[in-house]
Structure 1
């Protein structure tokens, strides 16, 4: 005989109940079918009782809602000629329920015994209606009241089953019955003195398991709205996978830690009889679901079966020198909690015996602290121990697997993964069986922790990068296009899965936690909300996603001043914005410090040389012990483009206009032509070479007339270039006379730096630098006579975007 249990979602309405009936029709052997109340009806019944007890007349409105749902189900499930008798019976049951609620209203209270009686009506109503619907298809079906079979003590709310009496009653009933299908209400039972009791949260599962154990069922099937047990909560971890096979012990561990498809006590009655459990989906019955038995099964060699969590946890700590070496403290402590009926979920104690730390439900924390401080009042007054310390808003996460004990390094993987994502661990527990490694963390970090661990243990090491992109101009657009184009390649070859979670320009911003569809990103961004820097930062923090990267593709000083807020939240920063790294030296050093402290990479390769590996090469030189003594460089691709194209045929004004149009200059070209941009770049190289310098220490030998430098707008600046065209033509003529080319050069040597327009002779390495190329010469202790030379395209949207992309990949490979 098989035992099938259908949960509230499976019997939520007539349509779903018809699916249940179809499943029953396809079964070939006798069935015991345990059903829950219609979805959410138990919650509604609890609400009505509390409202009635508080003398709130609204309980009658909720009662009417409950009545309407059941009447509607009868009218949709039962043939019209058969409805009258069934409606009459349901009405009688509802009248009884109303009488109980009216009593609570008159008394102004609801006792535990009354509460159990009220809550029982959910299952009584659903099982009766479903049994009548099944009888229409199978005349050999019947209804049996579980209260006649399951006997408990008088612990109302979560009664303890008297198995010797219960097993005998169930075995006798099923031995005598001739019915092919027996429909029974879950969750409810009868006390040994004849009152209605309930079996606690998940009690319908428990009812089914009790019956399965008593009749030695061939299998217990639990039908719900998901495809079995999952490697993590699919509502939190979208990549969670259904578990094919799992052991009883693993299932109990996962159930204890929040896997809601199975109530932990369910397993015990069938475990003792070695009866397998299968968890199936009512809405996809052809799928196999999860098979639970005594055999552990390592899927694809993975010793981890699942990752789960319990929220709303408080961590209580009792500590003091008076505990050390003194027997009986633990006994006293847990006796106090037992007397207060407080369940301890998590325990850990340091080997020094200086403290005992344990986790309980948040709702019990205040009561527990009062009870503990009262029990240890004398020791606290003598300073032998401290008052009980309570930390709230925590969660327990657990990594579960039967074969974990046979695999080294799992704890290390777990804790290093959490550490890399800045998830602080408050306490750790691991039993000698090594079936479960538990850690207490802040509740706000649960989503990040579960996704990070699931990615590590179940997703073939494919690392998801969550990108928050500020700035979608020329460079930003190219960057997004490159991400879109390379997503498949990155996933298949580098095990990286970059997703753009947010986009922002100066007008609009748009967030999508599941990732923005990059194919239509422009349209999506246009439909977004009004851009707001502070709101953008706040949203990124609230999402608290693993492997988060803020990508700044602006030249905005205000945005550059927000980097510290991201780094402090373990959010990496990738930027082509040079302002932060060329700001006050103290700010530059602080950003580096925050990056190290919070394990959040701060990368800015594109600050110098666009996509050229200049900063990365310099970092490797310094890290390997080399010392930079001198730097000579052409660091402005835009200025190199301008002076390479400036001729008698092309005026200086025209060439600068062209450079701006093609995206080689900053939005304000004066930043490039004034030398400020080059000053920032050489300053960054100087600082990355381990020298301390401020930007005002760099000598700027400007080639622009004073009037050009003092213009107030971009339009005024361009007009000034026309006005002083003869000045630029004179410079060009002087270069021709000297048989030189014009290059804007940055230099550093002996602690001094300058930027200037120089006349470069034919024998100089800079002479043949074409187009928008950059070139850098590093003279170091190792590169003395022949410098280390880096040369290539140093401007342009595509190459700058590729440099940003490369920094993002570096973070992914970190």
Structure 2
């Protein structure tokens, strides 16, 4: 004999009920089956709504009733197309009695708990009758048995207590004599000893099934629902969640208590003592393995079995110096809550006895505060304790697993993972059994918390990065292409799952928290919403995804000004924009402090040398205890390209124009040619070396004419280059006469920095620097005579994009 229970979704439509019938028919070939069914999905809520409307003298209750009526009649017509008059009459009578009850509630303007039980019982009474008749119409050996004739309770309406002695006797006697292969029983409903209709409370249909299973000592209780078992966490919030094959009773109860809706904790109790396994299966996918709950499951050695959460929590804090060493405060606190029938979900107390925190349902917070403040009115008046502090909008997240007590560092991993993602913990609770570690966090952080914890404990081999890119021009487009090309490699070799979640240009922006399709990102961006720097930031904050990285591929000062806001949200920043790190020194230090405080990486390798590992190498030298004594560098790939291609047979104007067209200069080439860009780069290296320096301290000897420097637009600048061609030819001729090459050099010596055009003699490391290459020579205490040299392409979309990509990967590898 087997007991199967089907939930509201499983019987929520004619199609699903047909699935249920097929499952029962296949089981009945081998066993005698007892099938407990819930109300049709959503009907209990509609019954309560209709009752509430009627009680409040809202005639709209009749509209809700008609909806209930139509749902059931439509299911009958689809399940039993040629249903006989008797079936329709029975259903019509039940519906008419329900309508009369609602009209009575409307007339007397009252809905007691006793009447509420009568009202809600119609959901199961209707669904069980329809399913039984549908099975009979197909010639199956099925019969309906009203659970109200079997399950006897007290008169505690809406959540009645079961009289197990009488109930077990009724169940055993009935099923001892029954002949049919399949018995359909409505869940949730029962009768009191005095003959009044009662219900078993939330999860009552599961409870009914467990009561029957325990009474008959069946081999297994099966609970069929719309998911394939109990998941590692909420699959609606964590897409990587997966079903847990085996759980202990205690693990299942903990997960259920902390929000796993598949199972209701009291369900477990009747079968727990008898060690009857519970098998949770999916009506829509009968072949799926599901979850088996028992005390006989094989210990897999996995410390954490699941992560669950409860939303809508309020945290109440009772504190004051007058509590220390005085017995009785906790007793009075919990007695007060008990008198108000307020359930306490979580408790934590400081060892100093200065405070005690409790977590309760948000909806009870006002009543609880008022009652507690009244109880401790005298102590509050004497300033021995503070008025109760209430924090709403919170949630509890919990790690659960029988085996956690045998593994060190679980708590550390949990809190470290939350901290890295800027998730503040308001309270912590852990039982002595170590089967549950709970933390109270902001409800807005639940999705991010569940994802980062799931990644930590169930996807340890793969880390998901959520990337947001502002600026999708030349460099940004190449970066996206590189990410697309390397996604598979990153996942397989580096165990990084990289999702580009948001993109923005100056006109539009687009987001997809599952990751944008990088094959069609241009089309998606074109159809996106109007772009806004603040709007982009706001959307990233709203999505609140773990391991978020903001990538700035602009030269925009406003974008750079938002870095502090990103860092304060623990969102990593990767930038090729040099403005932030070459801004005033206080802002530079602020960014560094925020990065450390909020554990948000701030990487800007491409600020100097595009994709060359210049800043990374410098940081490694400093971190290893070396000290920079001097830096000599050619740091402008654009200027190097210009002077390598300029000669007496070309014009300076033509070469600069070519450099801009090929993407080696900024959109405004004056930034490059004025030396400001190089000055920013040597400033950044000076700061990373440990020097306190601002841009004004760098000596910038310009090779441009006064007319070039005073132009008001890019067009005027190009015109001035044509006018001053003789000046540039003179610079070239001077270098040629000495057999030298023109190079724009940045230097840092003895705490002083300068940039300017120099004539480099043959034999110098800079002399043969070709194309757009950069070169940096680090003289340090360890490299006093022969410098450490880094050389390579220092400009261009591909190498700049690869530098940004490398910074993103560096964050992923942390």
Task: Using structure 2 for the length normalisation, give the TM-score.
Answer: 0.98
Counterpart CA distance in 2 for 1:711 and 1:651 is 19
How does 1:296-695 map onto structure 2 within 5 Å? 296-299=297-300, 301-695=301-695
* SS at 2:703 equivalent: coil
Deviation at 1:32, TM superposition (A): 0.8
Counterpart CA distance in 2 for 1:795 and 1:16 is 62
Deviation at 1:177, TM superposition (A): 1.4
Could you tell me which residue of structure 1 aligns to residue 246 of structure 2? Answer: 245
* SS at 1:425 equivalent: coil
Counterpart CA distance in 1 for 2:620 and 2:491 is 28
Matched, 1:744 2:744: yes
Counterpart CA distance in 2 for 1:463 and 1:419 is 16
Gaps of 5+ in 1: none
Deviation at 1:194, TM superposition (A): 1.9
Deviation at 1:79, TM superposition (A): 4.4
Deviates more, 1:737-746 or 1:374-383: 374-383
Contact 2:251 2:400 in 1 (8 A): yes
Question: Alignment partner for residue 53 of structure 1, among 52, 55, 70?
Answer: 55
* SS at 1:519 equivalent: coil
Contact 1:45 1:119 in 2 (8 A): yes
Contact 2:700 2:756 in 1 (8 A): yes
Deviation sequence 1:734-775 (CA, Å, 0-9, x none): 111121100001112233222111111113221111111111
* SS at 1:26 equivalent: helix
Counterpart CA distance in 1 for 2:646 and 2:461 is 52
Contact 1:551 1:573 in 2 (8 A): yes
Deviation sequence 1:402-421 (CA, Å, 0-9, x none): 11111111111111111111
Deviation sequence 1:274-294 (CA, Å, 0-9, x none): 111111111110112111111
Could you tell me which residue of structure 1 aligns to residue 102 of structure 2? Answer: 101
* SS at 2:426 equivalent: strand
Deviation sequence 1:486-517 (CA, Å, 0-9, x none): 11111111111111000111111110010011
Could you tell me which residue of structure 1 aligns to residue 763 of structure 2? Answer: 763
* SS at 2:801 equivalent: helix
Counterpart CA distance in 2 for 1:624 and 1:109 is 78
* SS at 1:500 equivalent: strand
Contact 1:127 1:143 in 2 (8 A): yes
Contact 1:246 1:297 in 2 (8 A): no
Deviation at 1:139, TM superposition (A): 4.4
Could you tell me which residue of structure 2 aligns to residue 227 of structure 1? Answer: 228
Could you tell me which residue of structure 2 aligns to residue 31 of structure 1? Answer: 33
* SS at 1:207 equivalent: helix
Deviation sequence 1:437-483 (CA, Å, 0-9, x none): 11111111111110001001111331100000001111111111111
* SS at 1:745 equivalent: strand
Could you tell me which residue of structure 2 aligns to residue 205 of structure 1? Answer: 206
Contact 1:246 1:295 in 2 (8 A): no
Counterpart CA distance in 2 for 1:378 and 1:242 is 53
Contact 1:74 1:83 in 2 (8 A): no
Task: Calculate the aligned-residue CA RMSD, in Å.
Answer: 1.2
Counterpart CA distance in 1 for 2:650 and 2:57 is 89
Could you tell me which residue of structure 2 aligns to residue 142 of structure 1? Answer: 143
Matched residues, number: 812
Deviation at 1:324, TM superposition (A): 2.1
Could you tell me which residue of structure 2 aligns to residue 214 of structure 1? Answer: 215
Deviation sequence 1:85-111 (CA, Å, 0-9, x none): 111111111111111111221122211
Deviation at 1:781, TM superposition (A): 2.6
Counterpart CA distance in 1 for 2:564 and 2:327 is 50
Deviation sequence 1:343-378 (CA, Å, 0-9, x none): 111111122222211111101111111111111222
Contact 1:663 1:796 in 2 (8 A): yes
Deviation at 1:782, TM superposition (A): 2.6
Counterpart CA distance in 1 for 2:323 and 2:6 is 50
Contact 1:296 1:402 in 2 (8 A): no
Matched, 1:73 2:108: no
Counterpart CA distance in 1 for 2:363 and 2:350 is 26
Could you tell me which residue of structure 1 aligns to residue 113 of structure 2? Answer: 112
Counterpart CA distance in 2 for 1:523 and 1:459 is 33
Could you tell me which residue of structure 2 aligns to residue 89 of structure 1? Answer: 90
Matched, 1:796 2:775: no
Matched, 1:185 2:180: no
Gaps of 5+ in 2: none
How does 1:767-786 map onto structure 2 within 5 Å? 767-786=767-786
Counterpart CA distance in 2 for 1:360 and 1:122 is 30
Distance of aligned partners of 1:139 and 1:700 in 2 relative to their CA distance in 1, 3 Å threshold? closer
Deviation at 1:720, TM superposition (A): 2.0
Deviates more, 1:94-103 or 1:634-643: 94-103
Deviation sequence 1:309-351 (CA, Å, 0-9, x none): 0000111111222222222222221111111111111111122
Could you tell me which residue of structure 1 aligns to residue 281 of structure 2? Answer: 280
Contact 1:247 1:297 in 2 (8 A): no
* SS at 1:582 equivalent: coil
Task: Using structure 1 for the length normalisation, give the TM-score.
Answer: 0.98
